[in-house]
Amino acid sequence: MVGKREDAWKLGAGWNETFLWYAKAVNELKTRPVTDRTSWRYLAAMHQFDRDLWVDLKIIDKKTPLPPASDTDVAWNQCQHSSFYFLPWHRGYLARFEEIIAATVVSLGGKAGWKLPYWNYLDATNPNARKIPEAFLLKFLPDGKTRNPLEDVPRYGQKVLGPEPKLQIDDIDLSAMGEPDFTGSVSFGGSRTLFSNPDIGVRGQLENAPHGSVHVLVGGARPANAGEGFLSAFETAGLDPLFWLHHCNIDRLWAAWMTKPGVRMEAGKQWLDGPSDRAFAVPKADGSGLENYTARDTLAGGKFYPEYDDLHAGTGVPIPPIGGVAVSVAQGPAAMAEPKVIGANSEKVTVGDKPVETAVKIAPVEGKAMVTAMGPNAPAAAAGKRTFLKFENIRGVSIAGGLKAYVNVPAGAEDAPPQDHVAGSAALFGLASASKVDGQHGGNGLTLVFDISDLARRLVDKGDFDPAHLRVKIVSAHDGGDAAPITIERVSVLRG
């Protein structure tokens, strides 16, 4: 790949050259039939496709010819969410999209070498960082009469990213960048927080936030067939031109994370050369056919490895890496011991309009050991252990939403739980898609893991840790409410 991807806000306000040609190229791709592998709709369907939903949203109609199964079975519905393929699959997807846009720019009379910008929404040095770039808010192109395709899509969230109490989503941050392990043992069952995650259905920390949070903050949480913002659903996300800038920044965060000393990158053959059941596929840049790629192709030296102008600003990496070159593929397996379940609740949790509290019962021996391990006289062997709260198989019919969890909310504070009792919050991006039994994700829903090590220590210090059980309060925000609640199969506590 020639040239480097740049920060969207450093390209100039309004209609800078990069965004003007992006808009012209998007308009051109939208004129192409969905059967064209380089068309806007074909590329979006690669992420995920739902014919009935697209008909309802008038993206296609009932008579629109679709590509043959020889294409759709290979290239469509590929989005890799809640798995350790999330980052490499999206990297290849972005790279080929970028090539198609660049070729279209040249065909329209523009210069060669167009590069996809990234939306650097966590750059503390830029006061505009959290704003949606201006070109995505303008109604028309500079001629004053051509509709701007970068703006002409439904969005129901904030134009400036930040906390959203109505969706139970806390502020976006870079906490994921502090995780030392890309993945862990494939057998560990998603029992701790990781930068990425090898278990289907369990989101890695980067995928949870800022990735999922930005999707829902911009897209909203109403059902897609009611006119939801495209970014909130797997099936429509790729139809929003902002999707590509958002994912470009997520990809950049991965590139920056790999430059950090001491991180342990995945090196297993299953990841490097997988998946074995269905290979990744993208259209050739000229649309003449499809080609396969692997995670190995997205690493340094691979055909889809990107170059960024800066891996420091807004990434949490304290020292700019020399030359911006990522480290080699692997530094060994995760060093931390696999956590063990020390307690769980006894029944499925159903959350509608009102918060719900569930008791996570912890065996007395384990509970007392936990207090001892966190107390002032804790043995040295317990110093590196962490505590996790796990929500398994979250399901619902709402297209998206948000969830927030508290531990041991004090009596009398139920209506306004104190922030120092927060276990974690998460955007439920793609909730309905992940819950469909006949869908790509098998109906397993979403699984979240929160690191509550600091919270658990505070509870112990306050004398508010009962070895018999913890009280977990769950607040959610989704369109269904009591009529179509979300359910959580199990809530558990782990130590390791």
* CATH code assigned at 433: 2.60.120
163 and 42 within one domain: yes
On whether residue 79 sits in a domain, the answer given is yes
What is the sign of the dihedral through the CA atoms of 204, 90, 185 and 180?
A: negative
Where a domain ends, among 291, 324, 357? Answer: 324
31: helix, strand or coil: helix
On whether residue 1 sits in a domain, the answer given is no
320 and 345 within one domain: no
Q: How confident is the model at residue 336 (pLDDT cuts 50, 70, 90)?
A: low
* C-alpha–C-alpha distance, residues 133 and 240, integer Å: 14
353 and 294 within one domain: no
Domain count for the chain = 2
Model confidence pLDDT, tens digit, residues 292-335 = 999 999 999 999 999 999 999 999 998 755 554 444 444 444 45
Q: How confident is the model at residue 474 (pLDDT cuts 50, 70, 90)?
A: very high
Residue 340 confidence (pLDDT): 87
Q: What is the largest CA-CA distance in the chain?
A: 73
Between these two residues, 183 and 136, which has the higher pLDDT value? 136
Domain assignment of residue 208, given as a range: 8-324
Where a domain ends, among 264, 295, 324? Answer: 324
Instruction: Burial-class residue 163 by CB neighbours within 10 Å (0-12, 13-18, 19+).
Output: middle
144: helix, strand or coil: coil
Q: Which long-range contacts (CB under 8 A, 24 or more apart) does 15-18 make?
A: 15/135, 15/138, 15/141, 15/142, 16/135, 18/114, 18/115, 18/117
37 and 83 within one domain: yes
208 and 61 within one domain: yes
Where a domain ends, among 280, 300, 324? Answer: 324
Q: Among residues 362, 351, 360, which one has the least CA distance to residue 474?
A: 351
Model confidence pLDDT, tens digit, residues 345-376 = 999 999 998 999 999 998 876 667 677 666 65
* C-alpha–C-alpha distance, residues 296 and 349, integer Å: 40
Lowest mean pLDDT among 1-5, 363-367, 376-380, 391-395: 376-380
On whether residue 2 sits in a domain, the answer given is no
449 and 314 within one domain: no
Distances in Å between the Cα of 145 and the Cα atoms of 19, 108, 140, 349 are 17, 19, 6, 52
234 and 102 within one domain: yes
Angle between helices 241-257 and 86-107 (to 10 degrees): 130
* C-alpha–C-alpha distance, residues 442 and 82, integer Å: 12
On whether the CB atoms of residues 436 and 412 are closer than 8 A, the answer is no
On whether residue 440 sits in a domain, the answer given is yes
- Give me Rg for the CA atoms of the chain: 23
On whether residue 295 sits in a domain, the answer given is yes
On whether the CB atoms of residues 218 and 151 are closer than 8 A, the answer is no
359 and 318 within one domain: no
Residue 151 confidence (pLDDT): 97
Distances in Å between the Cα of 386 and the Cα atoms of 18, 383, 453 are 46, 9, 5
Model confidence pLDDT, tens digit, residues 11-26 = 999 999 999 999 999 9
275 cis-preceded (ω within 30 degrees of 0): yes
346 and 319 within one domain: no
The residues facing 448 across adjacent strands are: 391
Residue 123 confidence (pLDDT): 97
292 and 415 within one domain: no
Q: How confident is the model at residue 7 (pLDDT cuts 50, 70, 90)?
A: very high
476 and 368 within one domain: yes
Task: Give residues with Cβ within 8 angstroms of 470, minimum separation 6.
Answer: 343, 359, 360, 362, 407, 408, 493
Q: Tokens at residue 413, please?
A: 């504070």
* C-alpha–C-alpha distance, residues 79 and 397, integer Å: 19
On whether residue 3 sits in a domain, the answer given is no
Residue 443 confidence (pLDDT): 82
Q: Residue 474 is inside which H or E element, if any?
A: strand 469-477
On whether residue 329 sits in a domain, the answer given is no
On whether residue 332 sits in a domain, the answer given is no
Model confidence pLDDT, tens digit, residues 62-101 = 999 999 999 999 999 999 998 899 999 999 999 999 999 9
Residue 43 confidence (pLDDT): 98
Q: How confident is the model at residue 488 (pLDDT cuts 50, 70, 90)?
A: very high
- CATH no. for residue 45? 1.10.1280.10
Residue 203 confidence (pLDDT): 85
Q: What is the mean pLDDT of residues 439-454?
A: 84
Model confidence pLDDT, tens digit, residues 401-434 = 899 999 999 988 888 899 999 999 999 999 998 9
Q: Tokens at residue 370, please?
A: 């936990």
344 and 319 within one domain: no
